[in-house]
Each structure stands twice: as structure tokens, then as C-alpha cells.
Amino acid sequence: MNAEIIMDTNTYLVLKLYVVGIMANTLMTTGLSATENIDTRPKIRTSRCNETMLLMEMERCGDQFKKHMLKVDQMKWCNLTHFIRDYNIFSYCTEQSSESMGCYWPNPLVESYIIHIHKLFFSNCTLDHIIWVDPPDNLLIILIFVPVFLTLSMIALVVWCSRRSDTLA
């Protein structure tokens, strides 16, 4: 008995689409997770932290970020999707500069500079707190009784149909 596997062309196409979908999903999730810059190895500090040079490097990183942010419309400064890559580059720059100067990251000096950048660009991005109010009593009664009534009606219909089928059998 010679068993041949014959695959339908549509099945083969679906299989290819499935594999391509998995590959695209993997590429998208690894690209968006920003895990490529994470180094989990412990770093040994051989030199003392040069805070003066670190401040100059922070200014350099900040100037690059400011230059990129000026290209973004000011109305879109609160929407992270418009500058997430630039912010990631800024964060990576501060981390690399801090470590190259023999400093830990984050440290109070870097944190204060990052807070300065946040105040400069994102100070108007606070969310307004929504105050939730209960609906009026009439609406609340309707919102409660309609699902209860529908549930009881469906139970009654199922019981009635099951009794009716018992008498027909």
C-alpha cells in the first residue's frame, strides 16, 4: 500500500500564511519590546564617576532629543507613538554616557536631567481626572431589570421547550 500525502493548494497556502504570520509576530514583538538594549551582565566600575563630563554628555544627549522633538508637532508631544524611538535613543544615550564616565545609571544627576527634559516637553501632559457619577435612578432601574428579565425569560423558554419535547416524545 503506497500512501501518498496529497495536500490541497488552499491548505498549503493557509499553512504558509500561518508560518509567515508567526514570523511577523515574532519580529514585531521583539522590535517593539526594546529588549535589544538590555544588558543583564553586572558591570565592574574601575574608575570614579566624572560628574562634570557626565553633565556635558547629558547635555549632548538632551540636545539631540530636543532637536528631534522640535520636528514633532507640539500638539503631539503627549502622544508617545510620535517620538518613542527618539525617547529610546535619548534614554540609551544617557545610559551609555553614564556608564562610560564610570557612573551608575540611573544616578541622581542623570535623573535630575531626565526630569528637566520631562518638565520641558511633557509638563502639559497630565491627565484630567474623570469624576464618575451614578446614572439617574430611572436609568439605573432599567439597566438592572432588563438583563434580569431577559435571563428569566430565557430560562422560562428553555424549561417550556424541554417540557414540550418530553410530551412529544
Shared domain for 20 and 88, answered yes or no, is no
CB atoms within 10 A of CB 141: 11
Shared domain for 31 and 67, answered yes or no, is no
Q: What residue numbers bound the domain in which 116 lies? A: 50-126
Structural domain includes residue 105: yes
Encode pLDDT of 101-142 as tens digits. Answer: 888 888 899 999 999 999 998 888 877 777 888 889 999 999
Structural domain includes residue 156: no
Structural domain includes residue 151: no
Shared domain for 121 and 57, answered yes or no, is yes
Encode pLDDT of 20-34 as tens digits. Answer: 777 777 776 665 555
The pTM (predicted TM-score) of the whole model is 0.50
Q: How many domains does the chain have?
A: 2
| DSSP annotation string for 107-141 | -HHHHHHHHHHHHHHHTT-PPPPP---PPPHHHHH
CATH number of the domain bearing residue 108? 1.10.150.510
Shared domain for 102 and 62, answered yes or no, is yes
